[in-house]
Amino acid sequence: MSSQIFSRLTAAPFQQPLYQSSVTAWQGHIPFAFWCIEQLRPKVFVELGSHLGDSYFSFCQAVREHSTATTQQFSI
């Protein structure tokens, strides 16, 4: 079991976000956003309610940096 868990650990959560607003509420979740995109490689990503963009831009960065160029991204 532990080998399955450790096989999913990557460097993605340790990336530096390129965009951070002055609102810190979502910034602690950015590493998880990077990891989710890397692991799941979705075809479509839709964010509902992007506020100042921290989360959406983090997902966009993850798509770009993890070669998921076919992922369509939308923010509503």
**Chain-wide mean pLDDT for the chain?**
86
Domain span at 11: 2-75
Please state the domain count of the chain: 1
pTM comes to 0.81
Shortest CA distance to 61 belongs to which of 10, 21, 18?
Answer: 18
pLDDT tens-digit map of 53-64 = 999 999 999 999
pLDDT in tens, 28-48: 999 999 999 988 999 999 999
Secondary structure of the chain as H, E, C letters: CHHHHHHCCCCHHHCCCCCCCCCCCCHHHHHHHHHHHHHHCCCEEEECCCCCCHHHHHHHHHHHHCCCCCCEEEEC
